[in-house]
Amino acid sequence: MARWPDRRILDLFGIKLPIIQAPMAGATTVDMVVAAARAGGLGSLPSAQLSVDQLKGALTGIRASTKAPVNVNFFAHVTPSADPVAQMRWRASLAPYYVEFDLDPAAPVAGAGRAPFDAAFCKVVEEFRPEVVSFHFGLPEKTLVERVKATGAKIVSSATTVAEAVWLEANGADAVIAMGFEAGGHRGNFLTHDMSRQVGTMALVPQVVDALNIPVIAAGGVADGRGVAAALMLGASAVQVGTAYLFCPEAKIPAVHAEALASAGDDSTAITNVFTGRPARGIVNRIMRDLGPMLDSAPAFPTAGAALAPVRAKAEAVSRNDFTSLWSGQAARLAPRMGASDLTRTLYEDALAVIEGRKTA
C-alpha cells in the first residue's frame, strides 16, 4: 500500500496516520481517545468541561491504556465579567419554556460552563506531558504558551480565516487547524465574530497553506476517505474529523442527539449562539427556530448554557431534542458507522485508495 505523501504532521506529532480525532467536549470519552490513538491517529481529549482532578483522572486512564501520542485540548477564551442585566434578559427569553415544563422561571440556576486554560491546567500539562496541546479560540497568554512549550508538547490551534492562521503562527503555534465553515460544534474564531464572512474548507485550506510556514490540518466537511484525500490535494498535511466520530459506540451523547444525527442531511444544520453564547454549528431544533439561530441578546460565552439546562433535561426526559445542542457538521450523512479504531484506519485507507484511483465513492 502507498504511504501518505506528506509526513510533516506525522513526524511532528509522532503518529502513524494523518487522522486527528476532534476533541468534542461532552461527547469524547477516554475510550474514544485510546481507540483513535491505538489505531495510529491522534486521539484528542477535550478538557474545557473537566475539573483539574477529572482531567488528571482521564489522563491517568489514557496513559494506562496506550503509550501512543495524544492531544489534550483546552479553550483559550476569557471568562466574562458578571452581567446581571444580560442574564435577566436571557432568563426572560426562556421563561415561556420554563412555564411549559412547570419550572419556576425565577429559580436560581448554576452551571459549570467551560473553563479556560489557566495555571492550574498548565500544571497538569507539566505533570502528564502530552505530546500535543491544542487550543480553541486562539491561544492563552504568552507565559502559559511558553510553559506548555517547555514540556516538549507541540502547540496547535484553530483558525477560521487566513488572518487568524497567520496570528497563530506568529504567536507560537507549531501547526494550525484550518477550520472551514462546514465544521460542527463551536467555531474557532477569535479575531472576528462576523459569521457572515466565515470561509468554507475548500477555499480556506489552500490559502492558509500558502500563508504559513508550518503544517496545516484541514477540518470541516471531512467525514470519509474522499474528504481526507481532498484535504491532501488542497495542501493539508492531515485532517481533523469530528462529526464522524459521534457515530462511534465510544461517543457519549444523548439519545436525542444520536437520533438527530442519524437523519441529518446536508442542509440540516445552522450556526447558532443560543446554547452557549458563542457561534457553533448544530442540527436545527426548536429553540434555534424560535429564538435564533443567532441571537444578539444571548449572554456572553459560556454563560448561556446554565439557564437552558433545566428545560433541556425536562425535554430529553420525554425524548425531545428541543433544547439540546445537537452539534454536527454538514457532512454527517457521509460518515461510516463503525468503532473509533476502525474509523481512524478506514478514513486513511479509503483516502489512499482515492489517491491511487482505486476508489471513487
Question: Tens of pLDDT along 110-149?
Answer: 765 789 999 999 999 999 999 999 999 999 999 999 999 9
pLDDT at 1 over 50: no
225-228, Cβ contacts within 8 angstroms, sequence gap of 24 or more: 225/346, 225/347, 225/348, 225/349, 225/350, 225/351, 225/352, 225/353, 225/354, 225/359, 226/334, 226/350, 226/351, 226/354, 226/361, 227/331, 227/334, 228/18, 228/19, 228/347, 228/348, 228/350, 228/351, 228/354
Q: Residue 3 — very low, low, confident or very high, per pLDDT cuts 50/70/90? A: confident
pLDDT of residue 2: 57
- Across 5-32, average pLDDT: 97
The three three-digit cell numbers of residue 65, written as one number: 491504556
Look up the pTM and report it. Answer: 0.96
Q: Residue 330 — very low, low, confident or very high, per pLDDT cuts 50/70/90? A: very high
Of residues 158 and 361, more confidence is placed in: 158
Instruction: Give pLDDT tens digits for 189-205.
Output: 999 999 999 999 999 99
For residue 186, CA distances in Å to 60, 150, 244, 257, 329 come to 27, 29, 16, 16, 10
Q: What does DSSP assign to residue 84?
A: H
Choose the weakest-confidence range: 80-84, 122-126, 160-164.
Answer: 80-84
- Across 164-185, average pLDDT: 98
- Across 88-107, average pLDDT: 95
Choose the weakest-confidence range: 24-33, 78-87, 252-261, 278-287.
Answer: 78-87
pLDDT at 267 over 50: yes
- Angle 321-326-330 from CA coordinates, rounded to 5°: 135
pLDDT of residue 109: 85
